Amino acid sequence: MKTNLLVLRASPDWLNFNIEDSRDFLRSFALPETLIIEFAGLWSRHFKVDYRTVRAQLKQLALQTYVDVRQASLVRHEEWDGRVAADGRVAFVDDDDWMSPGLFEDLPATGGEDGVRWGSLRVGRVFGPNGYAGPIVQRRSLDRIVYTNNYAVTARALDRLGRAAFFGHDAAQHAFDQPEFALTTTEKYLSCAVKHPCCTMSVSYLMSLESFRSDPRREISNFMDSLDAIRLDEIEPWLREPFKRFREVLTDATRPH
């Protein structure tokens, strides 16, 4: 019986998404409201597959990893009632990250805790100088940080604090840091944050670079070279299939017109 939940945060229908609607989203994060409009136009002028289609393809890849998680059901946040089975857990996901199919099997058994935190992988350049100095697949440190997809909570925590305390990772960080919060952890790496070129964090950083605005092809070439440098046998077994597919999607998407 599937007692665990994966709750998908806000996620547009990317193929039919009106780019103009990105203005409100960006304003809510105090980012320039034309950021994605300008990026999408720049991207389309240089690469074969447009921004919205890339986002749609990467969403489909992410959703497949969520559907493949055993002992769990995927539900959109609009359809979730804020509850989970007494012996289950709920984790929160974005539409472009990946989860291990064995996530809930590999976590410590539930036993009266409020939440659990596991290791988070990251795919993407570092947002700063020498962004490709290290491998593009990174193991984030096992510390107190709650990332977007490396935590889950129990019915006990939801009953006490409510869904708003955990839906976003910043709020979850505050809850997890409280001395009365009963936390368990594992050193296993069971999820991956994917900082692809079209994600909002990447867009914000890249559009701040005059070199990227002038010609994005060098940056994207560096990104693809870093992907190609990774041997599948060097990364977690569960990560190999989504990583391989990710590389295929971006190889096709970033071909010139």
- Domain count for the chain: 1
Biggest CA pair distance of the chain: 57
Note the pTM of the prediction, 2 decimals.
0.96
State pLDDT tens for residues 115-165. 999 999 999 999 999 999 999 999 999 999 999 999 999 999 999 999 999
- The pair of structure tokens assigned to 70 is 């055993």
Q: What are phi and psi of 151, to 5 degrees?
A: -150, 155
Supply the mean pLDDT for the chain. 97
State pLDDT tens for residues 165-223. 999 999 999 999 999 999 999 999 999 999 999 999 999 999 999 999 999 999 999 99
User: CA 92: distance to chain centroid?
Assistant: 10
Predicted confidence at residue 257, as pLDDT, reads: 78
Predicted confidence at residue 111, as pLDDT, reads: 86
Residues in CB range of 243: below 8 A, 6 or more apart: 123, 137, 230, 232, 235
Q: Map tokens 């440190």 to a residue.
A: 141
Residue 25's domain comprises 4-253
Predicted confidence at residue 110, as pLDDT, reads: 87
Mean pLDDT of 5-23: 97
State pLDDT tens for residues 65-107. 999 999 999 999 999 999 999 999 999 999 999 999 999 999 9
Q: Tell me the three state secondary structure of residue 7.
A: strand
> Does residue 108 carry a pLDDT above 80?
yes
Amino acid at 116: V
Mean pLDDT of 28-40: 97
Give the up-direction half-sphere exposure of residue 60: CA atoms within 13 A in the CB hemisphere: 9
Predicted confidence at residue 1, as pLDDT, reads: 62
Q: CA 168 to CA 148: how far, in whole Å?
A: 7
